Amino acid sequence: MNTMTNIQTITAKLLINGQFVESTTSEWQDIINPATQEVVGRVPMATPDEVEAAINAAQDAFKSWRLTPIQARMRIMLKLQDLIRDNMKEIAHVLTTEQGKTLADAEGDIQRGLEVVEHACSIGTLQMGEYAEGVARGVDTYTLQQPLGVCAGITPFNFPAMIPLWMFPMAIVCGNTFVLKPSEQDPLSTMMLVELAVQAGIPAGILNVVHGGKDVVDRLCTHQYIKAVSFVGSTAVGTHVYNLAGQHGKRVQSMMGAKNHVAVMPDANKEQTLNALVGAAFGAAGQRCMALSVAVMVGESKNWIHDLVEKAKMLSVNAGHEPNTDIGPVISKRAKARVVELINSGVEEGAELLLDGRDVEVKGYENGNFVGATIFNHVSTDMRIYKEEIFGPVLSIICVDTLEEAIELINANPFGNGVGLFTQSGATARTFQNMIDIGQVGINIPIPVPVPFFSFTGSRGSKLGDLGPYGKQAVQFYTQTKTITSRWFEDTQEAGEVNTTISLR
């Protein structure tokens, strides 16, 4: 890991057949510290030959890896989780520098990915098949969960540790090989995790890494050796990946955009609720697919809006590595310009701007991509700030009179990643969780991302494909079910009569 300490000099390498190599491409992109605009590294746009070499290496390695005992694969994951834990602070430092989030949030990014690696250590039971004896006279049926082959993962900028760790550990521990394409905006922390995976004992060719943009993505979606593609990112790119890979016969899971709501009931614990809303809306500078975008204040809870704004005013905006920072910069100048443009649109369309984060200044980091906490009231569902995913620290407030109105409003939104309800009534919570049409529901929890024993279950416009990342669904995604029906005869048994029916009896 010492090679990663001075990130000023880093060139992101490719990993092909067990070797970290520098790309021969002529096309490179700078990796920018979003708090300072300082160039901290560069990333190559891999050549077609390099992408081909990575996929071919994975294809060749699969022939032996699929036969590797399950315990051997599991032991690599046990070693990997130890290495990640030992190097967490160093990875978090690099992640903060290239991505912008606070050090605490960077460690959380790594920790949530580490939990999936820990769950992968249970593959001995997760990948078990089923067995039924005597389905007919002398006939048994059983299933095997067998690996698919070469799988690919395309990851976003906002979680450069967690999302790669959602993908390649589960794919590899199931017996597949993997080609990973990290975000070109912040690949350095991802590559640190990849280095640790190699140190943990993943053999040559099992895990490969290529960098690049659309050309590389498209090649992964269309190559004949790729059997499955996992994607997390924007709706536009996710739809493209799902359609292109699906048209070429790939199994695809595509986790995309969101517009997450929280309904606040008047009987909720006020202090805990307001703290949760502020953290969920403005943490990670709003750059989470599970960030809170819309607070639906039900009945008298609208009287809490002033207190909500006052709490948000107290958040500290600063570079991610500075102490006591609550909101770091967004990823790029382009991202900041889009967030500001959407805030402007909210003002122009008539929403009431209660807290304005457009002109925040951070001493010593005047060139940073900073947007402060921003809150709108009197937002309507036809406004751009409601319809579009802002991916910045912007919260819209809509007031309604009843729980039924809140449910109807939330269900009418096309996205379905996550939703929360704050209440102290069990009956209200039960009604809400039964009637709401969103894949992940939090009761007094604003960001309801499940632990890895379960599966990430975003739905509707937030997800394409029927299986989500990590958990039991990931094992289903990365394996093919083979059903075997068998009958054995005694050597002394005489031949029976010919049976021309489909019966096994």
Distance CA 468, CA 455 (A): 6
Distance CA 371, CA 362 (A): 10
Nearest-10 Cα torsion for 130, 134, 136, 140 = 50
The DSSP annotation for 24-90 comes to --S-EEEEE-TTT--EEEEEE---HHHHHHHHHHHHHHHHHHTTS-HHHHHHHHHHHHHHHHHTHHH
Q: Are the C-beta atoms of residues 90 and 5 closer than 8 Å to each other?
A: yes
Q: Is 92 helix (H, G, I), strand (E, B) or coil?
A: helix
Radius of gyration of the chain (CA): 25
Distance CA 197, CA 377 (A): 47
Q: Are the C-beta atoms of residues 152 and 230 closer than 8 Å to each other?
A: yes
Kindly state the helix (H) or strand (E) to which residue 217 belongs, with its residue range. Answer: helix 214-222
Q: Hey, which residues are catalytic here?
A: 289
Phi-psi domain of 159 (left: phi exceeds 0; alpha: psi -120 through 50; beta: other): beta
Q: Which residue has the tokens 């009197």?
A: 378
Distance CA 68, CA 66 (A): 6
Q: Encode burial over 89-127: b for 16+ CB neighbours within 10 A, e otherwise.
A: eebbbbbbbbbbbbbebbbbbbbbbbbbbbbbbebeebb
Distance CA 60, CA 64 (A): 8
